[in-house]
Chains A and B, each alone.
Chain A
Amino acid sequence: MINIHRLSFKWHTQQTIPTLTIPSLVIEPGEHVFLHGPSGCGKSTLLSLLAGINKPSSGSLCVLNTNLAHLSNRKRDAFRSDHIGYIFQNFNLLPYLSPLENVMLGCQFSKSRQQKALQQSSSLEQEAARLLSALGLTTEHHQQSVANLSIGQQQRVAAARAFIGSPELIIADEPTSALDANNRSAFIELLFAQANIAGSTLVFVSHDESLQTLFNRSISLMDITEQAV
């Protein structure tokens, strides 16, 4: 699913020491990976590379057997919209769209995800509603203003948006940091359930190592990176 080989990344070409260097990392399809590390160890940088926002300076970064290092900006944007669902830390939703519209937004920029969503349900709206319900958001919340939802409910909407159109890779960037402990594990269970149904690989990033036990694989970014000394 993800295959990283001798990856290094610099913000500027003049930079002498790379911001991030990963000799090797392999994540198999369907894995639920917990990626942790202290602040500033390069988690955000790695995620921006995985999501195709930034491009590796050297080495290869293959997602779904596509080397993102060789794709143009435009193709990486298209790749992201087709194959990656992204969940932010918090404030994930566009305030002027309803929860349902926020979920549909997940496949508005990708034809292939729209088609996949339409294989599940007869319309995008129905698929969005199905996902919201599956993630525990009752129909009465589907149309109400995003501002009236609790943080936990908002994160479920964000998760539904990441899952619509069954992307192969789900990246969750500290999605539970604003949730309390009960909500946290419930939310992660829901993520697992959906990821299993959709057959998606889940990369879950957090600095909270207590969550680690829930995952079948845990990677410490400190262990896999080559730290500049």
Chain B
Amino acid sequence: MILIKLAYKSLLNRRGSAFLTLFTIAISVMLLLSIERVRVDAKSSFSNTISGTDLIVGARTGDIQLLLSSVFRIGHTNNGVSWQSYQYIKQQRGVAWTIPLSLGDSHKGHAVLGTNTDYFSHYKYGKKQTLAFSEGTAFSHLNEVVIGSEIAISLGYALGDEIIISHGMGNTSFHHHDDNPFTVIGILNATGTPVDKTLHVPLAAIELMHGVGHSEHEHEHEHEHEHEQHENLTGEPKQITAFLMGFDSPLYTLQVRRNINQYKPEALLAIMPGVTLRELWEMLSIVEKILLLFSSIVVLVSLLGMLTTLLASLSQRRRELAILRSVGARPWHLFSLISIESLLITLLGCILGCGLFYGLMSVAAGFLQSHAGISITIAMLSDYELGLISAIMAAGFIVGLIPATRAYFYSLADGMSIKI
């Protein structure tokens, strides 16, 4: 007990350097915890991008490429799925629902997705949550658009605004479909997925813009029968980019997938989004590991800083060690004293680091949600994080053994003669 008191008072006496050391450890702990929390949450946000969809079907290409283009709106698929094939596969046994997707147009650099109203009822993300409207409703006319939350915020759109869709991707598209303005009819809630950055228009509208679909539009919409609406809004395009499928029972998934992959009339590819998401994340795991490596190095550097401070102070404290020896402290008492000091610094550093971590997370959570689509959980420290902190404590203790050992040998060599 006396040793803990001595260690505490001694540190307090050197509070300037002790606090700086403690603070660097706190910063490194904060950094490590933050990076790990964001990484874990990014992973779960990522794997929650799409859920409840059993298969994604598109033209034959790579699994990851199909996932990227259909779910993340990254890259293009050169080919599509012909309408006939879609219609055929749709009628397979066990198919509960399908959502056609048509991509390729953009609005100010944001993807425009042609689809039907099934999208709003069957598309699921996160823990099988369906899309919800913060304002307005799903489209029911060909010239209506439903926009993601981020589009609404970043471009400042409100219900009733008119927007022009461009052909192709990117801001610099030459061809604007200015003869077909769309009216914002609905704004979706934030999901933390690419849906937030997407503009949704009726599938038939895409064809209409390109002048290849049949030009049937402006019909009776007072009709409440949903199926009727679908017919109208879906149209009969030549081909679509991809489509999502849900089955009555997951048992159908593998069989239908095989049938699609072996479908003779057209080269098609069906992927299970969960599996492919995992593959994609594995590809990114090197980045994860580098992040973990760097934050671990930061922790290590901060502990080495503590080592430097303790060692530097030790040579000034040989008198203190001699006095303690004179009142009967044994060499291992002095060893423990220095060990306790390093443990105290590491412990307080970890506690302060956790405080800073929660501070940072509560400030950054909103930013990360809106800019990176990562929803941060401000919860208690997970077992994994507690494990990290224990590892830091253990490392701090081990590092502290070096000056402690030196104090031990100083006290043996110096005895009570005071050498400065």
Contacts and interface: CB of A to CB of B under 8 A. Distances in A.
Contact of A96 (B12, B324, B330, B417): B12
A97 B327 contact: no
Task: Tell which of B6, B9, B325, B327 has the most Cβ of chain A within 10 Å.
Answer: B327
B323 A96 contact: no
A117 to B, nearest CB: 13
Contacts of A80: 326, 328
A106 B323 CA distance: 10
A81 B328 contact: yes
Interface string A84-120: 0010110111111100010001111110000000000
**Interface-centre pick from B9, B320, B323 (highest chain A CB count, 10 A):** B323
Top 4 closest A-B pairs, CB basis? A81-B328, A96-B13, A109-B328, A53-B415
B275 interface: no
Interface string B319-350: 11011111111100100000000000000000
Contacts of B418: 88-89, 91
Contacts of A97: 6, 9
Nearest to B1: A108
A143 interface: no
A48 interface: yes
Interface in B305-329: 319-320, 322-329
Contacts of B319: 91
Interface residues of B, number: 22
A96 B9 contact: yes
Contacts of A81: 327-329
A226 to B, nearest CB: 23
B415 A109 contact: no
Nearest to B411: A53
B79 to A, nearest CB: 77
Nearest to B323: A94
Interface string B251-281: 0000000000000000000000000000000
Residues of B contacting A: mostly: helix
B416 interface: yes
Contact of B416 (A51, A73, A82, A101): A51
By size class, the interface of chain A is 20 to 34
A27 interface: no
Contacts of B320: 94-95
B285 interface: no
B330 A74 contact: yes
A47 B322 CA distance: 14
B10 interface: yes
Interface of B: 2, 6, 9-10, 12-13, 319-320, 322-330, 333, 415-418
A130 interface: no
A106 B9 contact: no
6 contacts: A44-B417, A53-B415, A86-B327, A94-B6, A105-B327, A107-B327
Contacts, number: 67
Contacts of B6: 94, 97
A44 B414 CA distance: 12
A73 B328 CA distance: 11
Nearest to B11: A96
A96 B416 contact: no
A208 interface: no
B12 to A, nearest CB: 7
Contacts of B330: 73-74, 77-78, 109
A101 B6 CA distance: 10
Interface of A: 44, 47-48, 51, 53-54, 73-74, 77-78, 80-82, 86, 88-89, 91-97, 101, 105-110, 161
A88 B326 contact: yes
A92 B417 CA distance: 12
A222 to B, nearest CB: 21
B328 A82 contact: yes
A48 B417 CA distance: 8
B416 A48 contact: yes
A101 to B, nearest CB: 8
A95 B13 contact: yes
Given A77-B330, A82-B328, A109-B328, A93 B323 contact: yes
A89 B323 CA distance: 11
Given A95-B13, A109-B333, A53 B328 contact: no
Contacts of A44: 417
Contacts of B333: 109
A227 to B, nearest CB: 22
Given A78-B328, A109-B333, A110-B328, A92 B415 contact: no
Given A74-B330, A86-B416, A53 B325 contact: yes
Contacts of A88: 322-323, 326, 416, 418
A212 B52 CA distance: 98
Nearest to B420: A91
Given A88-B326, A105-B327, A54 B415 contact: yes
Contacts of B9: 96-97, 101
A96 B316 CA distance: 14
A73 B408 CA distance: 13
